[in-house]
Each structure stands twice: as structure tokens, then as C-alpha cells.
Amino acid sequence: MNAKVEQSANLSSADVGKLLLAAALVVGGFFGFYYFSGQWISALRGLLLLASVVLAVAVVWTTRPGRNFRAYVGESQFELRKVVWPTRDETLRTTAVIIVVVIIISIVLGIIDLILKWVVMDWLLKLGN
């Protein structure tokens, strides 16, 4: 469990301005990509779009939500180092057990379906005749 105290969700005006700037950069990149479709080659327009997205990510990275996201990713990587991953043999054995169980359940459900079909179609519907 994380012992850190949650911070309030209120954004500062500087963060709001930065997020709006990042959104404007992305929108501007898409606008430039389509606006210059007749004059510029596709590779250059793609670079313009990529540059605008990279700049937008760099701007977002400096906001409090960006810092919180970086902290979250860092903590997630730390937690992933603690995971005990199964060995190849354990994985193969578990997969084999799951396949066998699925086959058995499929057979049981098929038998139940056949019994219900026989009861409804061949027995109940012929009672009315």
C-alpha cells in the first residue's frame, strides 16, 4: 500500500495554461499536417505533426498531473520488480490443466444441451400431439 497522502485534485492556473498550450500544440500540428497537404511532402508534414506532439508531451510533463504520472510509472516499475514470475514448466503445466478443464466443461455442457434438446424437442413437444 502507498503511504503517501493524496493531494488535492485542484490544478493551478499555470498547470491549466500549460495543458491548454499542449492541446493547442497538438491541434496546431494536426492543422498544419492537413493545411500543408498540397504544398509539402508527406514526410515533412509527418515530422511537423510528430514535433508538435513531442512538444505537447514535454509541456504536459512539467505539470502536476505529468509529475504524478511519472511518479505512478516509477512506483509501478518498483512493484513489478517484486513480482515472482512463474517458470516455463509452471506455465506449461498450468496451461495444460486449463485446456483439460475447458475440454471437460465443454463435454459436460454439450451433454446437458443434448439432454435438454431431447427433453424439449422430442418429449415435451410431442405431448401436445
- In the predicted structure, residue 42 carries a pLDDT above the cut 60: yes
Section 27-46 average pLDDT = 90
Categorize the per-residue pLDDT at 11 as very low, low, confident or very high, splitting at 50, 70 and 90.
confident
Torsion angle of the four alpha carbons 16, 67, 65, 29, in this order, in degrees rounded to the nearest 10:
60
Residues 66-101: tens digit of each pLDDT: 999 999 999 999 999 999 999 999 999 999 999 999
SS (H, E, C) 55-81: HHHHHHHCCHHHHHHHHHHHHHHHHHH
- In the predicted structure, residue 126 carries a pLDDT above the cut 80: no
Identify the residue with better confidence: 6 or 70. Answer: 70
CB–CB of 52/28 below 8 Å?
yes
- In the predicted structure, residue 4 carries a pLDDT above the cut 80: no
Q: Which of 63, 54, 66, 49 is nearest to 15 (CA)?
A: 63
- In the predicted structure, residue 9 carries a pLDDT above the cut 80: no
SS (H, E, C) 9-50: CCCCHHHHHHHHHHHHHHHHHHHHHHHCCCCCCHHHHHHHHH
Categorize the per-residue pLDDT at 123 as very low, low, confident or very high, splitting at 50, 70 and 90.
confident
The amino acid present at 41, given as its one-letter code, is I
Section 20-48 average pLDDT = 91
Three-state secondary-structure class, residue 117: helix
The percent of residues in the chain predicted with pLDDT above 70, rounded, is 91
